[in-house]
Amino acid sequence: MKDPIGILLYGYNRKDALRIKTTLDHALEDDLFIISGSGKESWLVADILDKGPEDFYQEEEQKIIMFLGFNESQVNATLKDFPSPEVTRPIFCGLTVKNIQWTMACLIDHLREEHRQFTRQTPQPEGEA
């Protein structure tokens, strides 16, 4: 029996979350699980993972998908086959021994800053878009 794979998803509404799951199930030829981080910004990532899946999804400006138990070829397939132009592409990340102890808000801030550096964007003051 192979280990289960899944994603920690943040920032997507229920319709898009299900679209992502369906697309990735097909691309990965597996039935992955989804854990929602919606409404859990003050929770530790470890606690969100311990709680497990639930059916609450909330649209947010920032979108994140964290890979859980993926191998390199599964990550590559996900990046290649991400659903469609109708679904906003997230910032992707993996679970680490460090970020599992962060709050969801801290993870979001860290990934946002990493993304800015990667794309060479300058940070904007709070409240500006």
In a domain, 126, yes or no: no
Count of structural domains within the chain: 1
SS3 letters across the chain? CCCCCEEEEECCCHHHHHHHHHHHHHHHCCCCEEEECCCCCCCEHHHHHHHCCCCCCCCCCCCEEEEECCCHHHHHHHHHCCCCCCCCCCEEEECCCCHHHCEHHHHHHHHHHHHHHHHCCCCCCCCCC
Rounded to two decimals, what is the model's pTM?
0.87
In a domain, 36, yes or no: yes
In a domain, 38, yes or no: yes
In a domain, 114, yes or no: yes
Structural domain boundaries enclosing 64: 6-119
pLDDT tens digit sequence for 8-32: 999 999 999 999 999 899 889 999 9
pLDDT tens digit sequence for 96-127: 999 999 999 999 999 999 888 888 765 556 65
In a domain, 70, yes or no: yes
